[in-house]
Amino acid sequence: MATEHDAFWDDLAEDLEDPAFLREYVVESMRIATIDQIVNDLDQAREAAKLSKAALARAISAEPAVVRRLFSAGHVNPTLGTLAEVATALGLRITLEPLPKSERESLTSPLLEGRTADAQGLIDHLNDLRTKKRSRSSAAA
């Protein structure tokens, strides 16, 4: 089993040599990690406010199913507008923050240059972001 796992990561590292694949991999990985973090943080704020999903939906004039899907679905792709509405109803604002210098170098450079000097390091870093997200949501549950 370890060989299949190793083969996957070896294949991924090889695929990252293609500039188009590398850019898509970085963009999608960061999109997923960012959306997951925002949704998890909003759900924690909702729970801390003791606000039901239905009440939150009413506050933003949305169908209850919209808010249920936002906080329950494994793979969500909400609009920034929906996230901003939910945040506002919870007394929050969504803001941008600069990536730490180390992340800027490991993520931005591959996007701009279409190559990375350390494919395995990039893979590990993006997986750590997703793992960190899962750990936060598991700890909150």
- What is the DSSP code string of the chain? -HHHHHHHHHHHHHHTTSHHHHHHHHHHHHHHHHHHHHHHHHHHHHHHTT--HHHHHHHTT--HHHHHHHHH-SS----HHHHHHHHHHTT------PPPHHHIIIIIHHHHHS--S-HHHHHHHHHHHHHHHHHHHHHH-
Q: First vs last Cα of the chain: how many Å apart?
A: 31
Question: How confident is the model at residue 1, as a pLDDT?
Answer: 46
In the predicted structure, residue 32 carries a pLDDT above the cut 50: yes
Question: How confident is the model at residue 4, as a pLDDT?
Answer: 64
Q: Is residue 109 domain-resident?
A: yes
Boundaries of domain holding 130 = 16-140
Question: How confident is the model at residue 9, as a pLDDT?
Answer: 83
101-117 pLDDT, tens digit per residue, is 888 888 898 889 898 88
Question: How confident is the model at residue 57, as a pLDDT?
Answer: 96
Number of domains in the chain: 1
Task: Compute the C-alpha angle 17/99/101, nearest 5°.
Answer: 80
Q: Is residue 3 domain-resident?
A: no
Among 127, 114, 62, 119, residue whose Cα is nearest residue 88? 62
In the predicted structure, residue 44 carries a pLDDT above the cut 90: yes
Q: Is residue 7 domain-resident?
A: no
Please list, in sequence order, all residues whose beta carbon lies within 8 angstroms of the beta carbon of residue 140, skipping any fewer than 6 positions away: 40, 43, 44, 47
Q: In angstroms, what CA-CA distances link 141 with 51, 57, 68, 86?
A: 16, 21, 16, 20
Higher pLDDT, 119 or 54: 54
Q: Is residue 63 domain-resident?
A: yes
7-22 pLDDT, tens digit per residue, is 888 898 889 888 999 9
Q: Is residue 35 domain-resident?
A: yes
Q: Is residue 1 domain-resident?
A: no
Give me the CATH number covering residue 96. Answer: 1.10.260
In the predicted structure, residue 56 carries a pLDDT above the cut 50: yes
